Amino acid sequence: MFIFLVCFIPSLLVTLGLFIWHRYQYDKSGKGTNYRSYMKTQEVTLKEFLISCGLTVILAAVSLGINNMVRDSGFIDTKYIHGVVTEKYKDSVSCEHSYQICTTSNKTTTCTTYYEHFEDYDWVVKTTAGNLTIDRVDRQGSSTPPRWKSVVIGEYATQAYNYMNYLKNDKHTLFKANASGGAGIPQPRIYDYYRFSPVIGFPEIEEQVKQYNSRSNLNVNYVVVTGKNRDFIDSIVKDWEGVDINQILIVINLEKSNTVGYIRVATYANGYKNQYLIKDIEDSSIGKPVNNQLVTEHFSKIKSDFTRIPKDEFIEKKEEYRPSLGLIIFLVLLNLAVSIVTHIYMKRNPVA
């Protein structure tokens, strides 16, 4: 409503001021009949004024919609769902490549659409995390893409999904505000269509982590480092702009014997509703070897104690959004410009 009023009130005042000014010019001209006749042709009528006001309301509502679109786009985040490849197949689809031929007869033009092929082909990979399509190697897709051919049934596959992360408007809840950042640890991303490496720094446990991730609908990531202090995880989370809604980040600092020197765990919203799980994993892991057995213990605790946060848990954060000054100025100027242009148009093109 704030944006609506900020855009509507100045535009309405400009519209009202121009209307009154032209009425005043006509009523107070004090000149002869010819001048009065000329001014009457320049007058903006009450009907035209009301039309201008209506357009002002509509444009203010559109401006509010633009503001809401900008706001919501800032909340869009990505989560990763893991699974396995279950099938791959060649799919026949309608031809996507067309052209038109037009002919003119007796000043009438007729256009006919033609398609290059009867059908095109998509090379689909079906996974428990969602389906994807391998890029074609020719226009129609008739040739088998080498990448599709190399897909193995049963291999791990990850898909990315967008969701509304309302905490992006509250950095204090996403991560500790005093974290320094600059850890230099890149967040895992999908590469080569569906591949994903959930473990950084200790590949010996990656297969086990992928296996559990593919069964849990969670995105558990391990970062294994040496010689780092206990605040290192906070820097990672700050660099990653928070932990995603289905993500659990486990950072382990290795001792020389490949045992856990210290361990820190992070979940969505700074551990909201998962503090017991975090403490349990951290306390029970100290001094243990970093291996598949440790991963199994972690996932066992996660399976029994992890609390999934509903996606609308923090929806009230939407109301804390404040548009940038640049956006406000742009919308106000846009509304004023349309109001002035509409007034000039009404003056030059009287409405019957």
98-141 tens-digit pLDDT = 889 998 888 889 998 888 888 999 999 999 999 999 999 999 99
- Residue 210 located in a structural domain: yes
- Residue 16 located in a structural domain: yes
The predicted pLDDT at position 40 comes to 47
The widest CA-to-CA distance across the chain, in whole angstroms, is 104
Confidence class of residue 321 from pLDDT cuts 50, 70 and 90? confident
Confidence class of residue 229 from pLDDT cuts 50, 70 and 90? confident
Confidence class of residue 175 from pLDDT cuts 50, 70 and 90? confident
Query: Are 120 and 181 found together in one domain?
Result: no
> pLDDT per residue over 144-160, tens digit each?
999 999 999 999 999 99
Among candidate residues 349, 306, 281, the one with its CA nearest the CA of residue 216: 306
Among candidate residues 296, 117, 309, 114, the one with its CA nearest the CA of residue 209: 296
Query: Are 178 and 300 found together in one domain?
Result: yes
The predicted pLDDT at position 244 comes to 94
Residue 231 has which token pair? Answer: 């605040």
Whether residue 39 is predicted with pLDDT greater than 50 in this model: the reply is no
Whether residue 29 is predicted with pLDDT greater than 50 in this model: the reply is no
Query: Are 215 and 294 found together in one domain?
Result: yes
Measured at the CA of 320, the angle between CA 317 and CA 325, to 5 degrees, comes to 140
- Residue 124 located in a structural domain: yes
Measured at the CA of 163, the angle between CA 162 and CA 165, to 5 degrees, comes to 130
Among candidate residues 157, 285, 280, the one with its CA nearest the CA of residue 222: 285
Check residue 4 and give left, alpha or beta (phi > 0: left; psi -120 to 50: alpha). alpha
Query: Are 183 and 296 found together in one domain?
Result: yes
Query: Are 37 and 123 found together in one domain?
Result: no
Query: Are 126 and 189 found together in one domain?
Result: no
Query: Are 54 and 102 found together in one domain?
Result: no
290-300 burial by CB neighbour count: b if 16+ within 10 A, else e?
Answer: beeebbeebbe
- Residue 312 located in a structural domain: no
- Given 108, 138, 159, the domain boundary residue is 159
The predicted pLDDT at position 99 comes to 87
CA separation for the pair 352, 346 (Å, rounded): 11
Note the pTM of the prediction, 2 decimals: 0.80
Query: Are 86 and 52 found together in one domain?
Result: no
CA separation for the pair 145, 227 (Å, rounded): 45
- Residue 167 located in a structural domain: no
- Given 114, 137, 159, the domain boundary residue is 159
Whether residue 337 is predicted with pLDDT greater than 90 in this model: the reply is no
Within 13 Å of residue 180, how many CA atoms lie on the same side as its CB? Answer: 7
The share of the chain scoring above pLDDT 90, in percent, equals: 52
Mean pLDDT (the chain) is 86
- Residue 267 located in a structural domain: yes
Query: Are 183 and 297 found together in one domain?
Result: yes
The predicted pLDDT at position 91 comes to 96
Query: Are 113 and 226 found together in one domain?
Result: no
Instruction: Give residue 187's domain range.
Output: 172-305
The predicted pLDDT at position 304 comes to 96
Whether residue 174 is predicted with pLDDT greater than 70 in this model: the reply is yes
CATH of the domain at 199: 3.10.310
Q: Which residue has the higher pLDDT, 233 or 309?
A: 309
Confidence class of residue 351 from pLDDT cuts 50, 70 and 90? low
Query: Are 295 and 184 found together in one domain?
Result: yes
What DSSP string describes 89-110? EEEEE----EEEEEEEETTEEE
Work out whether strand 199-200 and strand 219-225 pair parallel, antiparallel, or are unpaired: parallel
Least-confidence region, from 40-44, 108-112, 281-285, 327-331: 40-44
CA separation for the pair 227, 105 (Å, rounded): 82
The tally of domains found in the chain comes to 3
The H or E element spanning position 76 is: strand 76-93
> pLDDT per residue over 43-87, tens digit each?
566 676 777 777 778 887 887 788 778 778 889 999 999 999 999
- Residue 341 located in a structural domain: yes
- Residue 214 located in a structural domain: yes
Give residues with Cβ within 8 angstroms of 74, minimum separation 6. Answer: 168, 169, 321
> pLDDT per residue over 286-311, tens digit each?
999 999 999 999 999 999 999 999 98
- Given 159, 181, 213, the domain boundary residue is 159
Query: Are 247 and 335 found together in one domain?
Result: no
